[in-house]
Structure 1
Amino acid sequence: MALNDSTPTPERISNDRTIVRLPMLLGLTLAGGVLIGASFFGGTKGLNSIGRGYTKYKEILQLIENNYVDSVNTDDLVDFSITKMLEKLDPHTAYLNPTDAVAARSQLEGGFDGIGVEFNIFADTVYVVTPLAGGPSETAGIRSGDKILKVDDTSLTSKGVDNSAVYKAMRGKRGTEVRLTVLSKGQKPRVVTVTRDRIPTYAVDAAYMTDAQTGYLKVNRFSDSAYEELRNALAGLKQQGMKQLVLDLRNNPGGYLDRATNMADEFIDGNKLLVYTDGKDDRYDRKYFAKLNGQFEDGALIVLIDEGSASASEILAGALQDHDRGYIVGRRSFGKGLVQMPVQLSDGSELRLTISRYYTPTGRSIQKPYVPGQEGDYEKELELRSKRGEYYVADSIKNDPKNVFKTDKGRTVYGGGGITPDYFVPRDSSWQTAYLGQLYAKNIIREYALSYANDNRARLEKMPFAEFDKAVNLTDEQLSTMNKAATAEGVKFNAAEFARSKNYIRTQTKALIARYVYQKANKGGQNNEFYRVMNTADNTYVKALTLFDKAQELEFGPKAVGKK
């Protein structure tokens, strides 16, 4: 029986679609991966050899349950022992308890059941950033800026309330009702009954034209709906006259393998090899080829990657690079070349077991080195890149000379540690300060942007974005008001650090205001206006727009440079 690549499979992802993450948070991609669906493991190979170990383990659990001096939760012991056992394998084989398995699955299955609000916690209070357009909360009359004081009998105003507590209170089976105690500005608290429903999640963050011929498309994960979203986005951009494209895969930790290959097929012509997998058991060996007439098989293509681009992102970038179809710009990718098969266990928990390695068309494994049982060293690898200057100096990238491969047109590429970009762009850390970090921690920027958007909504919603872009620019006086709000929340003002971060804070705030104003007008969960503003301060994006001559030369040859 063959593997069913379309079987929904989970992956833990942490992705804030609006706030630019600080550098070392990229370690979250460790939880990501390439997933291949299956509903079974066949055969009984090795059962006799593990029988003695199983008997011993069962005996120990029974002895603890019956004789240990204190009461213990044997389920917790089992979960702990499984987790420790898997640490002796590769860094990506993992065990998820039932709660984590459901949460992880919702990130890739296109949605979850809930009330349909984006919230923000500010000063120990839960604020509605925006209700999902057409969702259950908007239907019930909840608006941006409302405070949610209680969910049923659970208070959300206690000190230390966090995201997990809010998720637990708000999410639940679709069709069930939940009573929210809501406080709107200038009114008394009221109780609103909301019927939970399916809340969609999206893979394409943005798809817009930067000029008359250049499109920009950002993919945040390879989820269940990613391929369909990409196709729709490409079609829309082509209708607007797109001739060349920037495909942004930065901070994309992966997802379904077949979504990655289907998306590669949209850019690569003929029946070229896209990726292949190889494992101990040949049942899991597969070759994936291009087979469709893709929507953008011709035209200059630039692909943005960084150290947060992992697994499925690397499959797509690797296929485009090996076939000389895309010009890769940014920094070296994460380096995750293992494929997991998720198996749901009887209690709803899940085992994600590494069953094979994947290889790019040239035969590259991009898996970075690891030592089984030393996961801590593996997790520190991104930090080590920073210490040796790799994020800032191209020559600091240390490729293994034994892992040299040639692309279709004879260019040199490397395996054994991620995708090395064709053009390196250093990380811009000039604006990153401790003061900015404290503003993020206290949600000062988001809160100011939300208040500004709500106070000026009637005027701003009438503006086309081009007019908004010219009209809305935060003054020094407005930034001073934000700093005073931060001081009131316990953030000590630092003039020197604020000066370094000032322009970035101004851009970030304007981008968030644009998002809150225009989000309802966008379809498919895209935040085009946010990225239109934010990308102006993104040095990798800005540089990429100047490199289409190199992308054209890669695609069409030197004689084609300058032609459109």
Structure 2
Amino acid sequence: MSNSKWAIRLPIIITSAVAIGVLLGANFTTSDTPSGDMNKSLFKFREVLGYIDRNYVDDVDSEELVETAIVKMLEKLDPHTVYIPKEEAVLAQSQLQGNFEGIGIEFNIFKDTLYVVTPLSGGPSEKVGLQAGDKIVKVDGENIAGIGLNNRKVFEKLRGPKGSEAKLQIIRDSKKAPLDFTIIRDKIPQSSVDVSYMVNKEVGYIKVSRFTATTYDEFYAAMEKLIDQGMKKLVLDLTGNPGGYLDKAVNMADELLADDDMIVYTKGKESRYNDEYRAVRKGIFEKGPVVVMIDQGSASASEIVAGALQDNDRALIVGRRSFGKGLVQMPINLSDGAELRLTISRYYTPSGRSIQKPYDGKDDAYSHDLADRYENGELFVADSIHVNDTLEYATGKGRKVYGGGGIVPDFFVAIDTTETSSYLTKMYTSNSLREYTFKYYEANKQKFEKMGFDEFFNDFKVTDKMLEDLNKVAKENGVKYNAVDFAKSKELVRIHMKAQIARSNWGEEGFFPVFNQADEIFIKALTLFDQAEQLAERN
């Protein structure tokens, strides 16, 4: 159904923050025997549907009516209980499984044409010889260039069961004629730890983008790597992380907390959904200072980690107030392949606070909360953060914390708008910046492949000529040049261009060290280790 609640939200799970939430790791498949009242309600619903099917003046699609009724029924509950139709459930589940089945490429769409940004290492596309810069013009004999291509259509064409064939026709600039490839789809891993690297000789940085089935293993491997490289202090970046599996968040926090520290507990209507989670193992990094980065896009499982570390006085939290999702969903497989994600409990941080922000059944008001924060000035001024004084709690060492609307950071960082502009935004929305840097890298690939990252980081400069060429690409993509905006954003554009070029050659380990030079929360985090060290010494 095109207008279902989930159909509207599904793109957000792919491209934006705050969509996944907190999920229990196992799917729930059994159902209880309906009560007498429920049987009466079910009979009434069947009765009405039967009258419609037999007697309504026009032909009706009974299945569509039922789908609509389910969506409308769930809207009476809470914003995070959702119904996912069968045709969209597989894609939704793949966001959390840590892998999917497909051909294994990172792609981008420029001027309605599908470009291979890079074939994923060890994946089926790399094995048959697809290269960065290849343009995919046909899939299984069907033209896909110039048809109004979007991410969903690409997923539909290129993903498929392991072992199935995808026949691709590509155009490669170095070849006169199109090339044909037959690719056997396979399982493709998806990383949820985007990057881990040493900022300096003592500080390690880990970026976790969501909590999937593989997140804990990825996090532990990243910690081992950084400790081997001499890490004594940790920056854990949870900005924009929309959540995921509860147990993976618990396991991650366990590695940073002392034995028997409370991590989180849950309470539901049914006692079987009441549980508490404590640190149970010797953690890999229980003593060193930790600073956690959060923002308005950090939700649910991210808030569990941040809340546990804050309430146990284990880490300093820096950034902006998190999303405020304190509900736990049980994924339930329905008989036709659809999925119900049903809220079965609330979770509470160790101090006893629920960080769920208020909801009153009006989905529009709830979903517009982040926009309201922007308009009310909360993202710019710490004093504009709304906290409920009646929901005041204390950490183990007596620091004040608040419930009822997200994790309030120990150190607030405003959004820096001094270098942003509508012209820069249009460069991104038109894909102009990514298109230019991708093509620039391809034209200079041999030079970059011979260059070490340290040399690139320290010596490579984005020239004024490159900026001029970027503006030409933007103009070709329908972006009108704005001299005032460009002057305002020019230095930020240089950093973003350099970061994208670094990504093309060194992946995320090249991108983030450059990109983070303009991240105001990251910059602030690096200044807080004296306080974080004092906090760590108190434990």
1:8-87 equivalences under 5 Å are 14=12, 28-41=17-30, 43-44=32-33, 47-87=35-75
What does residue 202 of structure 1 align with?
191
Q: Structure 1's 198 and 316: CA in aligned 2 closer, same or farther, altered over 3 A?
A: same
Moved more, 471-480 or 348-357: 471-480
Residue 203 of structure 2 aligns with an amino acid whose one-letter code is T
Partners of 2:422 and 2:535 lie apart in 1 by 41
Contact 1:34–1:311 at 8 Å: present in 2 too?
A: no
| Matched position secondary structure for 2:231 | coil
**Which of 538, 544, 548 is residue 519 of structure 2 equivalent to?**
538
Contact 2:322–2:406 at 8 Å: present in 1 too?
A: yes
Contact 2:193–2:208 at 8 Å: present in 1 too?
A: yes
Contact 2:28–2:330 at 8 Å: present in 1 too?
A: no
Pairwise CA distance, 1:535: 0.3
Moved more, 58-67 or 148-157: 58-67
What does residue 507 of structure 1 align with?
495
Partners of 1:35 and 1:503 lie apart in 2 by 44
Q: Does 1:279 align with 2:268?
A: yes
Q: Does 1:226 align with 2:207?
A: no
Q: Does 1:164 align with 2:145?
A: no
Partners of 1:199 and 1:444 lie apart in 2 by 28
Q: Does 1:106 align with 2:76?
A: no
Partners of 1:299 and 1:13 lie apart in 2 by 39
Partners of 1:433 and 1:103 lie apart in 2 by 34
Pairwise CA distance, 1:110: 1.1
**Which of 333, 339, 359 is residue 344 of structure 1 equivalent to?**
333
Pairwise CA distance, 1:225: 0.3
Moved more, 69-78 or 339-348: 69-78
**Which of 411, 420, 424 is residue 412 of structure 2 equivalent to?**
424
| Matched position secondary structure for 2:450 | coil
Contact 2:13–2:19 at 8 Å: present in 1 too?
A: no
| Matched position secondary structure for 1:402 | helix
Pairwise CA distance, 1:99: 2.1
Partners of 1:133 and 1:303 lie apart in 2 by 30
Identity, in percent, stands at 49
| Matched position secondary structure for 1:33 | strand
What does residue 535 of structure 2 align with?
554
Partners of 2:147 and 2:158 lie apart in 1 by 18
Moved more, 189-198 or 67-76: 67-76
Partners of 1:153 and 1:61 lie apart in 2 by 43
Contact 1:12–1:107 at 8 Å: present in 2 too?
A: no
What does residue 6 of structure 1 align with?
none
Deviations 1:62-94 (A, max 9, x none): 233333333332222211110111000011111
What does residue 439 of structure 2 align with?
451
What does residue 242 of structure 1 align with?
231
Q: Structure 1's 533 and 122: CA in aligned 2 closer, same or farther, altered over 3 A?
A: same
Partners of 1:70 and 1:535 lie apart in 2 by 59
Contact 2:328–2:345 at 8 Å: present in 1 too?
A: yes
**Which of 246, 268, 272 is residue 257 of structure 1 equivalent to?**
246
Deviations 1:386-421 (A, max 9, x none): 111110111111211111111111111111111000
**Which of 406, 413, 431 is residue 394 of structure 2 equivalent to?**
406
Residue 162 of structure 2 aligns with an amino acid whose one-letter code is R
Q: Structure 1's 326 and 136: CA in aligned 2 closer, same or farther, altered over 3 A?
A: same
Structure 2 segments unaligned to the other structure (5+ residues): 1-8
Pairwise CA distance, 1:38: 4.0
Pairwise CA distance, 1:13: 8.0
Partners of 2:315 and 2:345 lie apart in 1 by 26
Q: Structure 1's 168 and 42: CA in aligned 2 closer, same or farther, altered over 3 A?
A: closer
Number of aligned residue pairs: 530
Pairwise CA distance, 1:12: 6.2
What does residue 3 of structure 2 align with?
none
Residue 551 of structure 1 aligns with an amino acid whose one-letter code is A
Contact 1:13–1:104 at 8 Å: present in 2 too?
A: no
Deviations 1:158-180 (A, max 9, x none): 24221111111111111111111
Residue 554 of structure 1 aligns with an amino acid whose one-letter code is L
Contact 2:20–2:243 at 8 Å: present in 1 too?
A: no
Q: Does 1:476 align with 2:468?
A: no
Residue 352 of structure 1 aligns with an amino acid whose one-letter code is R
1:121-136 equivalences under 5 Å are 121-136=109-124
Q: Structure 1's 111 and 13: CA in aligned 2 closer, same or farther, altered over 3 A?
A: farther
Moved more, 379-388 or 405-414: 379-388
Moved more, 205-214 or 427-436: 427-436
| Matched position secondary structure for 2:213 | coil
Partners of 1:290 and 1:159 lie apart in 2 by 53
Partners of 2:231 and 2:37 lie apart in 1 by 60
Residue 358 of structure 2 aligns with an amino acid whose one-letter code is P
Partners of 1:236 and 1:471 lie apart in 2 by 27
Residue 58 of structure 1 aligns with an amino acid whose one-letter code is R
Contact 1:126–1:148 at 8 Å: present in 2 too?
A: yes
What does residue 288 of structure 1 align with?
277
Partners of 1:122 and 1:410 lie apart in 2 by 54
Residue 336 of structure 2 aligns with an amino acid whose one-letter code is D
Deviations 1:515-550 (A, max 9, x none): 11123xxxxxxx111001000111110111011011
Pairwise CA distance, 1:118: 1.2
Moved more, 68-77 or 247-256: 68-77
Q: CA RMSD of the aligned region, Å?
A: 1.7
Partners of 1:320 and 1:208 lie apart in 2 by 22
Partners of 1:127 and 1:13 lie apart in 2 by 20
Contact 1:36–1:339 at 8 Å: present in 2 too?
A: no
Q: Does 1:497 align with 2:485?
A: yes
What does residue 130 of structure 2 align with?
142
Partners of 1:443 and 1:273 lie apart in 2 by 45
Residue 349 of structure 1 aligns with an amino acid whose one-letter code is A
Contact 1:13–1:29 at 8 Å: present in 2 too?
A: no
Pairwise CA distance, 1:250: 0.3
Pairwise CA distance, 1:277: 0.3
What does residue 6 of structure 2 align with?
none
| Matched position secondary structure for 1:29 | coil
| Matched position secondary structure for 1:294 | coil
Q: Structure 1's 124 and 38: CA in aligned 2 closer, same or farther, altered over 3 A?
A: closer
Partners of 1:32 and 1:277 lie apart in 2 by 15
Partners of 1:71 and 1:508 lie apart in 2 by 55
Residue 524 of structure 2 aligns with an amino acid whose one-letter code is K
Pairwise CA distance, 1:14: 4.8
1:289-438 equivalences under 5 Å are 289-372=278-361, 374-438=362-426
Deviations 1:339-362 (A, max 9, x none): 111110000001111111000011
Partners of 2:486 and 2:82 lie apart in 1 by 42
Partners of 2:510 and 2:152 lie apart in 1 by 29
Q: After the TM superposition, which segments of 4 or more aligned residues of structure 1 sit over 4 Å from their partners?
A: 11-16
Pairwise CA distance, 1:31: 4.8
Residue 273 of structure 1 aligns with an amino acid whose one-letter code is M
| Matched position secondary structure for 2:332 | strand
Deviations 1:107-131 (A, max 9, x none): 1111111111111111111111111
Contact 1:333–1:419 at 8 Å: present in 2 too?
A: yes
TM-score (normalised: structure 1): 0.91
Residue 40 of structure 2 aligns with an amino acid whose one-letter code is R
Residue 110 of structure 1 aligns with an amino acid whose one-letter code is G
Residue 357 of structure 2 aligns with an amino acid whose one-letter code is K
Pairwise CA distance, 1:47: 2.0
Moved more, 181-190 or 248-257: 181-190
